[in-house]
Amino acid sequence: MSLQLAAGQTSLERLESALGRMVQKHGFQRVDRPDPEFAAGLTALLLTDDPQRNLEVLDACVILPESLKGLGDQVSRQVAGADFAPALMQQYGIARAPAVVFLRDGQYVGSLNGIRDWAEYQNEVAGLLNGPARPKPIGIAVRSENAQGACA
């Protein structure tokens, strides 16, 4: 009798499995290009990354569908995998995944970064979905030092 050892899934394979469940079970659509067009109405866009860098990414793939469940078809559900999320993170000024960007008629409403306890997450999602559109961030703020060593 010989024992066969098989390699487990890589972190990106686990992410792909989670994204597949989101599409099949919860009606999410995969972002398939770096400059997606968003439908009229409300959109929740989950931005992901390699879970090896941040395990919360896999948690967000479970929590976001549950938090949107009661909204039915009122919210379009989109998810960007590790292939297109970096460009979208830069576009919306998101420092790290997981993050959910909320849009209304394609216009930025706000974002929710990281994972929180369930009640706080639910309250923030409701607030963003019901809130006014906001100016889209222009990027991630970066501090630099000038030649004299003072922060600019």
Q: For the stretch 60-85, what's the b/e string if a residue is b when 16 or more beta carbons lie within 10 angstroms of its beta carbon?
A: bbebbbebbeeeeeebbbbbbbbebb
Least confident of 35-44, 67-76, 124-133: 124-133
121 within some domain: yes
Q: What is the pTM of this model?
A: 0.82
44 within some domain: yes
15 within some domain: yes
Domain CATH for 106: 3.40.30.10
145 within some domain: no
136 within some domain: no
Structural domains of the chain, count: 1
Contact between 39 and 94 under an 8 Å Cβ cutoff? The reply is: no
89 within some domain: yes
pLDDT in tens, 9-55: 899 999 999 999 999 999 999 999 988 989 899 999 999 999 999 98
Give residue 17's domain range.
11-130
- How many CA atoms lie less than 13 Å away from 136 in the CB half-sphere? 14
The SS3 call for residue 47 is strand
Residue 42's nearest CA partner among 89, 92, 91, 102 is 102
The per-residue pLDDT for 148 is 43
5 within some domain: no
CA–CA distance, 95 with 50 (Å, rounded to integer): 14
The per-residue pLDDT for 75 is 92
pLDDT in tens, 73-121: 889 999 999 999 999 999 999 999 999 999 999 889 989 988 887 788 7
